[in-house]
């Protein structure tokens, strides 16, 4: 039985992972859970799965959580950064599922690696911010890092049984989001409610907005560079509206191997948790006759400039990707709060990057400082626009 810590248990990835645990109680045991502020949902998870430790954002939410639990529930409630680190490093844990949103996932993931835990990684920002550092620690500790993003899981599966030197190109597929065919002249009228209506996937609000701008795909490009040790020049994005082919790998002989499935995150999550075994999920295979055809397009970088910006920041390296990610988090939050128009997301990120004093070979402290600087700068730019 595999003992799990699920960081981000109340989000989309976390709840899907717990559904898998629910289906396979003989294979998985939940030892720790962590969330930010969704204490009502977390309380329900605690009652059902009986973790030893749970972590929340701060002491205020720890008190609220305690008040929601039955008196006979025995669980250690911890909070803040130290609480998340505790949830990630319990001695009994075999694997940590990193499903926290944004840069907050970096420190717990590194702590789990240092503690010798295998990682199932859904928090792409960890590798966007500090891919070189993270992968070096994975190698040094000899732990397993399994990708949980559907695209990176697909690439991992498509590489099985092949030599790294045989790879010619990685092809990351993108649905194109809800505005794939929307004229750019209409982008200024896009509301958060419109952007949150993804055509294929059910995801959290932040990643859904990133999918609408194609920044999500840009972050996945940077993540793929570090996960699979492939240069940016050998990573390509192709728009595939049906979201059946989750990604592909082209080999040196021209052969292309792809992983296909219906657009449901449970498949990638289950494979990340159970590798090298496949769990007998109830998910259906794609009905190809009903689909009729699978189509592909080049991404329109003029209408979706965030993708090009991510390629540029990733190739530049250094603190650039950390700044890109932090500015994007602030921009998306401001858009969702009605403080920034949809058409203001890209300019805010680009302006923040333009102002950043780049550090070429940063250590972890410098990356964290760059993240903090980018957030402060992006907030300041928004405030100026509002004044």
Helix (H) or strand (E) holding 325: helix 320-336
> CB–CB of 345/324 below 8 Å?
no
What is the model's pTM? 0.93
Phi/psi at 296 (nearest 5 deg)? Answer: -140, 150
Coil, helix or strand for 10? coil
Q: Between the CA of residue 23 and those of 47, 99, 276, 383, what are the distances in Å?
A: 17, 20, 18, 48
Each domain of the chain, given as residue ranges in start order, spans: 2-147, 149-302, 317-387
Looking at the domain that runs over 317-387, which CATH code has it been given? 1.10.1740.10
Q: Between the CA of residue 53 and those of 77, 156, 204, what are the distances in Å?
A: 6, 31, 24
Query: CA nearest 107: which of 49, 186, 34?
Result: 34
Are the folds of 2-147 and 317-387 the same?
no
Q: Dihedral (C-alpha) 85, 88, 91, 97: value to the nearest 10 degrees?
A: 180
Per-residue pLDDT of the chain (387 residues; tens, 9 = 90+): 999 999 999 999 999 999 999 999 999 999 999 999 899 999 999 999 999 999 999 999 999 999 999 999 999 999 999 999 999 999 999 999 999 987 889 999 999 999 999 999 998 889 999 999 999 999 999 999 999 999 999 999 999 999 999 999 999 999 999 999 999 999 999 999 999 987 766 667 888 999 999 999 999 999 999 999 999 999 999 999 999 999 999 999 999 999 999 999 999 999 999 999 999 999 999 999 999 999 999 999 999 999 999 999 999 999 999 999 999 999 999 999 999 999 999 999 999 999 999 999 999 999 999 999 999 999 999 988 877
8-state DSSP, 5: E
Assigned CATH topology for domain 2-147: Rossmann fold (3.40.50)
């Amino acid at each position: 039985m595999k003992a799990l810590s699920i960081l981000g248990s109340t989000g989309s990835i976390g709840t899907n992972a717990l559904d898998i645990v629910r289906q396979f109680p003989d294979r998985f045991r939940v030892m720790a859970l962590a969330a930010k502020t969704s204490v009502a949902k977390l309380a329900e998870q605690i009652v059902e799965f009986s973790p030893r430790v749970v972590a929340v954002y701060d002491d205020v939410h720890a008190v609220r959580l305690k008040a929601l639990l039955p008196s006979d529930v025995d669980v250690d409630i911890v909070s803040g950064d130290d609480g998340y680190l505790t949830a990630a490093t319990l001695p009994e844990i075999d694997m940590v599922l990193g499903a926290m949103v944004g840069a907050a996932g970096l420190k717990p993931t590194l702590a789990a690696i240092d503690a010798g835990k295998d990682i199932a990684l859904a928090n792409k920002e960890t590798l966007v911010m500090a891919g070189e550092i993270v992968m070096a620690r994975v190698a040094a500790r000899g732990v397993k890092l399994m990708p949980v993003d559907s695209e990176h899981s697909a690439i991992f599966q498509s590489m099985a049984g092949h030599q790294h030197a045989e790879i010619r190109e990685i092809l990351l597929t993108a649905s194109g989001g809800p505005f794939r065919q929307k004229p750019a002249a209409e982008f200024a009228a896009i509301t958060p409610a419109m952007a949150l209506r993804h055509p294929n996937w059910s995801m959290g609000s932040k990643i859904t907005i990133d999918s609408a701008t194609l920044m999500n795909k840009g972050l996945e490009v940077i993540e793929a560079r570090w996960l699979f040790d492939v240069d940016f020049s050998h990573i390509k994005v192709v728009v595939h509206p049906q979201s059946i082919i989750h990604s592909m790998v082209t080999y040196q002989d021209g052969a292309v191997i792809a992983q296909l499935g219906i657009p449901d995150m449970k498949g990638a999550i289950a494979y990340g948790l159970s590798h090298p075994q496949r769990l007998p999920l109830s998910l259906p295979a794609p009905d190809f006759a009903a689909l009729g055809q699978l189509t592909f397009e080049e991404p329109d970088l003029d209408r979706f400039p965030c993708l090009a910006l991510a390629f540029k920041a990733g190739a530049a390296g250094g603190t650039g990707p950390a700044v890109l990610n932090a500015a994007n988090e602030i921009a998306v939050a401001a858009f969702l709060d009605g403080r920034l128009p949809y058409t203001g997301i890209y300019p805010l990120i680009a302006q923040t990057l333009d102002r950043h004093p780049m550090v070429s070979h940063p250590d972890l402290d410098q990356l964290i400082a760059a993240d903090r600087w980018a957030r402060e700068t992006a907030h300041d730019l928004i405030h100026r626009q509002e004044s």
